[in-house]
Structure 1
């Protein structure tokens, strides 16, 4: 059976017209599907309005406890639930999730090396509970995962949405004919980040 795992980035999330059109198209997509999203710019804006400075190193968010509270509110609440509501509007029985819900995605806190990223989770090949996620899919639910996981010991962890999408696709490929799609502002995966035309034509799994 066919499964699509689709991850959307800020170019979709930050533009309400783009987001509504994407969700309408996503809802119309036939077959099983999972949506994965982050929401970094919205989290940064709300952090700023609350007087919490967003700290980024090479584009990666440093997640201290205050930032974790904000991204939990924004990712799992504001962004996720509004997406779910829109998908329901378009007749898609979506269910909004973090990795902690149902223990679907369990991560390990990133160890401190040269940089302490704080409450950030890393995934491995045992992180995703494909069996129980497949039960949701087979019951005609459309999971909408935000960029949050947990460690199994009560701690939420901020986790890269691209990584979550890839881990879901790899794990569920053992059950379904799975296609992973990233929707982002670049033309594709680049060999040189400064050269928009340096596209990699094909990537092996």
Structure 2
């Protein structure tokens, strides 16, 4: 079993939650890959530098100055802090962007109604399956930030939920995959004011019928359901306390 785990949101900023996650991630049996975001921290850093983030439909508009901040945040401080913390627990890790080892290529998003700037999108050949699996066979845990490249010398901001989805889809050709989207809630909530009102299961039809989720959750769910459609065996959205154990306080997605 290969666990593909994505973390983001307030989880990265909350010392207790992050510590809980890292300990449980360390205990996960089988192969594993970690993908992290960090948009909230990047937004804070941007404001300190006099840049104000613009988010459209849950996705960040990325001009060149914004891209520089994201690279500093994602591929720099956040990535290496996670690597150091996992190494402390005894997990042999490699902190990576998509450009490292040419592991994840992307193409700059085409301009349609919105110009997202220096943002990467994927295709079925984006993930370098062979070399990524070689790292896993050497008992390394790859830790990817949300930066990829276009193989033309350009780095691109890429949605971490999308990276997790495409890694899971690509690696299913080699191993059985469990894709986890891990954040600060116990699952997808019916009521944002009630932390215990999570759905235990959500299927694709209900997601698009009711549109009951807040804006930032839409890209996550779109990527999660896309992975299921492409043959990933299991996808769930959960709190870090549920990652290692068999507790049912999580949201399982199904078609």
Q: CA deviation at 1:11?
A: 2.8
Q: Counterpart of 2:254 in 1: which secondary structure?
A: coil
Structure 1 gaps of 5+ residues are: none
Q: What is aligned with 2:167?
A: 168
Q: Which residues in structure 2 correspond to 1:48-87 (within 5 Å)? A: 48-87=47-86
Q: What is aligned with 2:198?
A: none
Distance 2:253 2:88 in 1: 36
1:68 to 1:177, Cα distance in 2 relative to 1, 3 A:
same
Distance 1:17 1:102 in 2: 33
Structure having greater relative contact order (Cα 8 Å, sep ≥ 6): 1
Q: Counterpart of 2:21 in 1: which secondary structure?
A: helix
Structure 2 gaps of 5+ residues are: 189-201, 215-249
Q: CA deviation at 1:194?
A: 3.3
Number of equivalenced pairs:
201
* Cα RMSD (Å): 1.8
Q: CA deviation at 1:186?
A: 6.4
Distance 1:116 1:35 in 2: 29
Q: CA deviation at 1:177?
A: 1.3
TM-score w.r.t. length of structure 2: 0.75
1:38 to 1:159, Cα distance in 2 relative to 1, 3 A:
same
**Deviation sequence 1:52-83 (CA, Å, 0-9, x none):** 11111122100000000000000011111000
**1:31 aligned onto 2:30:** yes
Please list every run of at least 4 consecutive aligned residues from structure 1 whose deviation after the TM superposition is greater than 3 angstroms.
192-196, 199-202
Q: What is aligned with 1:122?
A: 121
